[in-house]
Amino acid sequence: MPLPIAHSAAGIDGYLVFKKRNLDSPLKQELFLLGLCLFLANLPDLDFIPGFLCGEPGRFHHGPSHSLVVGLLGSLIFYRFASYWLTGISRKRILGCCLVSLLSHPILDYFSADTSKPFGVPLFWPFDTEY
């Protein structure tokens, strides 16, 4: 499992990869979009929280939150809210940032070594439940 630092770096990449095309957007909105990218890149690992509350941090980790389908839906939901507030940034750029940042998480986890059960991530959940 990559550390949050690696996921955050992927979120920064998700922000920067679309940065070149719109240099004149407001600074506050740029910072909000960068923060959103960092948040989305780490969002799937919030599945640790119910496990912490139960006393077993890994109990719910690497569940459906690490699926590409859930990532795609989550990206579209956050894009919808972000495009409402970020009026100075193009919608295409916001969508690209949301997609790259959130979908990078299960892909990074897929290619990393996992030392605890269940091994891997359910990348194609709900179509395939295999880890």
Q: Which residues of the shown chain bind Zn ion in the complex (CB under 5 A)? A: 44-45, 109
* Least distance CB 55 / Zn ion (angstroms): 20
Structure tokens belonging to residue 29: 């909105």
Structure tokens belonging to residue 82: 């972000």
* Least distance CB 16 / Zn ion (angstroms): 21
Structure tokens belonging to residue 66: 């690490």
Residue 44 or 96 having the CB closest to Zn ion:
44
Residue 37 or 45 having the CB closest to Zn ion:
45
Residue 26 or 118 having the CB closest to Zn ion:
118
Long-range contact set of residues 118-121: C-beta below 8 Å, sequence gap at least 24: 118/62, 120/62, 121/62, 121/66, 121/67
* Least distance CB 37 / Zn ion (angstroms): 16
* Least distance CB 63 / Zn ion (angstroms): 10
Residues 6+ apart with CB under 8 A from 47: 60, 61, 62, 63, 65, 66
Residue 93 or 109 having the CB closest to Zn ion:
109
Q: What single-letter DSSP state applies at residue 17?
A: T
Cα distance between residue 36 and residue 113, in whole Å: 27
